[in-house]
A = this chain, B = another copy of it.
């Protein structure tokens, strides 16, 4: 046994992996998953195409990791916003608002995560994460029901509707086909976010605020 993996090597490899992930993220944030080419990613990361396959099974696998990491970050932010003090309705409102605002701030990545047509493997990940969002909302809804600020009905179903309403409302504005000519002003964005939040809160509580 002449060669054995040493700490230095482990770190060098980890560093290469990190660069690959970083550059993939960049490519996706720039043009979505579909247009992110392995050769381009390798070029940016300063490695050969083959090297990518020493770190990831396949392109799909690489993308799946990017997708998971990026989406998990969003899910965490939602969870965090739902985990502040205050009544459930307000917390839900804040979470929805922050989610929409972040999406509008990084539109291409948001579109890729929410609505870009992707291969079945990624689509499955997407379903999982939509459920993850819904589950956080669901918990907050149940808390709201317990607190009495939300009337008692199917929390799970309502949470799914929440996810759908916000996603659908964002798809149009985020869509790259339209986003070119039709970029929203700050005022537009605020109006959009307000309307989404109002519908959702009303859908939950049954009351205007």
Q: Name A's B-contacting residues (CB within 8 A).
A: 117-120, 123-124, 127, 130-131, 151, 153-154, 157-158, 160-169, 171-172, 175, 177, 192, 195-196, 198-200, 202-204, 206-208
Minimal Cβ-Cβ distance residue in B for A175: B127
The CB with the most chain B CB atoms within 10 A, among A127, A169, A175, A203, is that of A203
- Contact between chains at B157 and A161 (CB < 8 Å): no
Please indicate the chain B residues that have their CB under 8 angstroms from the CB of A206 in the complex: 202, 206-208
Interface SS of A by simple majority: helix
Instruction: Contacts A161-B169, A167-B164, A168-B160 given; indicate if A124 touches B177 (C-beta within 8 A).
Output: yes
Bound together, the chains give a CA A202 to CA B161 distance in angstroms of 12
Please indicate the chain B residues that have their CB under 8 angstroms from the CB of A192 in the complex: 157
* Cβ distance A147 to chain B, nearest Cβ, rounded Å: 18
Please indicate the chain B residues that have their CB under 8 angstroms from the CB of A172 in the complex: 127, 131, 160
Instruction: Contacts A117-B123, A167-B168, A168-B168 given; indicate if A199 touches B195 (C-beta within 8 A).
Output: no
Instruction: Contacts A117-B118, A202-B206 given; indicate if A161 touches B153 (C-beta within 8 A).
Output: no
- Contact between chains at B165 and A198 (CB < 8 Å): no
- Contact between chains at A157 and B202 (CB < 8 Å): no
- Contact between chains at B199 and A161 (CB < 8 Å): yes
- Contact between chains at B208 and A203 (CB < 8 Å): no
Minimal Cβ-Cβ distance residue in B for A118: B117
- Contact between chains at A171 and B117 (CB < 8 Å): no
Please indicate the chain B residues that have their CB under 8 angstroms from the CB of A175 in the complex: 127
- Contact between chains at A195 and B164 (CB < 8 Å): no
* Cβ distance A18 to chain B, nearest Cβ, rounded Å: 29
